[in-house]
């Protein structure tokens, strides 16, 4: 059985996810049950890969060049880049869920809910900024302690 490379996009054309599988239907069912992005996909495309040994390499190439929002595997992230990527995923999901909810409510309720949602997002962004500042401070303390432990004891023996 041949490997299949598949891509999922949302209604706006944003590439959500790229994967490979020998059983696309089974893998799609798994995404449907366990992937946060799946509910927002609008289209997909499958492509047969002739050799299994090249499928993973091709998937890796596609992920690194096309940068789907919900793939983590095959990206080379620093810690800060991974945090930023996860934040983008969360913002996407929050926005899409808020949009869907707003479409289901009346026009009068929409304004209030949108304002509340924007306030919640602003509050969340403020909390994220504070956490990033705390992380930066913790890193500085970590490096200072590392220098004290690893460098200073040699000098203090004199």
Total structural domains within the chain: 2
Mark whether 22 and 53 lie in a shared domain.
yes
Mark whether 92 and 142 lie in a shared domain.
yes
Q: How far apart (Å, rounded) are the C-alpha atoms in residues 15 and 7?
A: 7
Phi, psi values for residue 10, rounded to 5°: -90, 180
Angle subtended at Cα 35 by Cα 34 and Cα 39, rounded to the nearest 5 degrees: 110
pLDDT tens, 30-42? 999 999 999 999 9
Residue 128 CB contacts under 8 Å (≥ 6 apart), including other chains: 87
Domain final residue, candidates 66, 100, 121: 66
Phi, psi values for residue 7, rounded to 5°: -130, 140
Domain final residue, candidates 66, 97, 121: 66
Mark whether 21 and 52 lie in a shared domain.
yes
Q: Is 41 part of any domain?
A: yes
Q: How far apart (Å, rounded) are the C-alpha atoms in residues 4 and 7?
A: 10
Mark whether 62 and 33 lie in a shared domain.
yes
Mark whether 92 and 145 lie in a shared domain.
yes
Whole-structure pTM value: 0.62
Give the chain's count of helices (H) and strands (E). Answer: 5, 3
Mark whether 11 and 54 lie in a shared domain.
yes
pLDDT tens, 1-18? 688 999 999 999 999 999
Mark whether 49 and 87 lie in a shared domain.
no
At how many degrees (to 10) do helices 79-103 and 107-150 cross?
170
> Which residues constitute the domain of residue 62?
3-66
55 — pLDDT class (breaks 50, 70, 90): confident
pLDDT tens, 67-121? 999 998 877 777 888 888 888 999 999 999 888 887 776 666 767 878 888 898 8
CB 17 within 8 A of CB 24: no
């Amino acid at each position: 059985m041949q490997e299949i490379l598949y891509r999922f996009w949302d209604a706006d054309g944003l590439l959500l996810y790229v994967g490979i599988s020998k059983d696309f239907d089974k893998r799609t069912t798994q995404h449907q049950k366990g992937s946060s992005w799946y509910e927002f996909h609008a289209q997909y495309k499958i492509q047969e890969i002739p050799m299994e040994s090249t499928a993973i390499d091709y998937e890796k190439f596609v992920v690194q060049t096309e940068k789907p929002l919900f793939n983590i595997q095959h990206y080379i992230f620093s810690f800060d880049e991974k945090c930023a990527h996860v934040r983008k995923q969360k913002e996407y999901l929050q926005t899409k869920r808020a949009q869907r909810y707003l479409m289901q409510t009346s026009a009068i309720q929409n304004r209030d809910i949108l304002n509340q949602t924007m306030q919640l997002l602003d509050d969340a962004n403020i909390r994220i900024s504070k956490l990033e500042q705390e992380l930066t401070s913790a890193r500085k303390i970590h490096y200072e302690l590392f220098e004290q432990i690893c460098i200073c004891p040699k000098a203090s023996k004199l």
